[in-house]
């Protein structure tokens, strides 16, 4: 059969992922077309993951890093080796459903104008959502949209009928598709992040350059996801949140949001004390301060590629802390009213500015 779509390079980053790849690699390999490739970048596994991948898919390219340089660095290394026109970053524990390969190229084939997009990420054997597209609060806090909700019936049909546009705040790195040249032009993922928030940063950089991101709900993967991965996760999340804010937010937006960002830090100290991760919050502050000279240099490069007004960039954000992971904080009516009021005032100010 002759295929007219783009060639696909699927990049899977592993670290002690043998049990996960035993499910994921066969599901990917079974759907690849002639000209496609599977690239596995292993971050120094001690459980035999590379050998397992080679046994399951002898055609796969397996790159053994020899150290754990983190998820973004491994993705960038895999992308540098890729020959496909389209890249798909896929978590080792995100198992593609039947029809994933055909669906992941649809935004390209249909010319939707998206610079990057994600599949619909489910959990629990496809019964519930893990991410229908990420949400980003204007303070930089980000989460998987729709996590824990039942998978809607007929979601694909709604999208095709134009009844529900799915262009989220950010696209999830669990199953992220992007043209290889777009990925290269964007500079890939920020390697200093090591883990977490790198997909938020990439999405916001694309938006800053006037590009759009989306979700293809027919490209489904089932993700074995657990939010709680120990206190160290909070250090990565918080330092990388600040790195993203510093790198991507236009100066005018930063100035207007300064009080909100300061108030958020005070609130997060209380949350961290109650949650037992105050040392990680302090370490995230230290990380951010020590990295500030580098972040300012990176900011200059990122902002130099800006092609949109601040108001257009701000359209990616939500004023609501509506994540299931935030518990009572997200359900507070008073907090919601305050946050919405602040954001409405921010948008009013931005609407009067040319840049």
pLDDT on residue 59:
97
Most distant CA pair in the chain: distance in Å?
60
Average pLDDT over residues 82-91: 98
List the domain boundaries for the chain: 8-223, 232-351
318, β-bridge pairs: 137
Average pLDDT over residues 320-344: 84
pLDDT on residue 151:
87
In the structure encoding, which two tokens stand for residue 309, read together? 């007004």
How many whole angstroms separate alpha carbon 83 and alpha carbon 61? 12
The torsion angle over the Cα atoms of residues 226, 120, 69 and 30, rounded to 10 degrees, is: 110
What is residue 12's three-state secondary structure? Answer: strand
Sorted by sequence, the CB contacts under 8 Å of residue 341 that are 6+ apart come out as none
Q: Give pLDDT tens digits for 244-270.
A: 999 999 999 999 999 999 999 999 999
In this prediction the pTM is 0.94
Sorted by sequence, the CB contacts under 8 Å of residue 301 that are 6+ apart come out as none
Q: What is the fold of 8-223?
A: Spore Coat Polysaccharide Biosynthesis Protein SpsA; Chain A (3.90.550)
- Which run of H or E residues covers position 292? helix 278-304
For every residue of 98-150, DSSP letters joined together read TTHHHHHTHHHHTT--EEEEEEEEEETTTTEEEESSEEEBTTS-EEETTTTSB
Q: 86-100, 161-175, 307-321: which range is least confident on average? A: 161-175
pLDDT on residue 8:
98
């Amino acid at each position: 059969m002759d295929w007219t779509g783009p060639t696909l390079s699927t990049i899977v980053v592993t670290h002690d992922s043998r049990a996960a790849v035993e499910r994921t690699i066969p599901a990917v390999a079974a759907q690849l077309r002639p000209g496609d490739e599977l690239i596995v970048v292993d971050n120094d596994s001690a459980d035999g993951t590379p050998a397992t991948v080679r046994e399951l898919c002898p055609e796969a390219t397996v790159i053994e890093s020899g150290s754990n340089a983190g998820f973004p660095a491994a993705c960038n290394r895999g992308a540098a080796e890729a020959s496909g026109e389209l890249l798909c970053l896929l978590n080792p524990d995100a198992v593609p459903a039947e029809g994933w390969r055909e669906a992941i190229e649809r935004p390209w084939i249909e010319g939707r104008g998206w610079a990057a997009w994600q599949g619909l990420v489910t959990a629990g054997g496809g019964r519930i959502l893990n991410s229908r597209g990420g949400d980003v609060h204007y303070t930089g806090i980000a989460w998987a949209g729709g996590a824990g909700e039942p998978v809607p019936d007929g979601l694909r049909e709604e999208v095709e009928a134009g009844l529900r546009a799915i262009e989220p705040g950010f696209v999830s790195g669990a199953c992220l598709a992007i043209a290889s040249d777009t990925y290269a032009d964007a500079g890939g993922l920020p390697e200093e992040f090591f883990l977490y928030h790198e997909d938020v940063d990439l999405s916001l950089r694309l938006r800053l350059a006037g590009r759009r991101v989306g979700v293809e709900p027919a490209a489904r993967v089932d993700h074995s996801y657990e939010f709680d991965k120990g206190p160290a996760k909070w250090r990565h999340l918080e330092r990388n949140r600040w790195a993203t804010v510093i790198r991507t937010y236009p100066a005018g937006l930063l100035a207007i949001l300064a009080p909100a960002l300061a108030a958020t830090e005070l609130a997060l100290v209380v949350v961290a004390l109650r949650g037992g991760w105050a040392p990680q919050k302090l370490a995230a502050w230290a990380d951010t301060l020590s990295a500030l000279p580098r972040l300012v240099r990176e900011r200059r490069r990122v902002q130099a590629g800006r092609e949109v007004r601040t108001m257009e960039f701000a359209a990616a954000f939500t004023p609501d802390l509506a994540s299931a992971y935030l518990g009572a904080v997200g359900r507070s009516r008073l907090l919601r009213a305050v946050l919405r009021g602040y954001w409405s005032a921010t948008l009013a100010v931005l609407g009067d500015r040319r840049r």
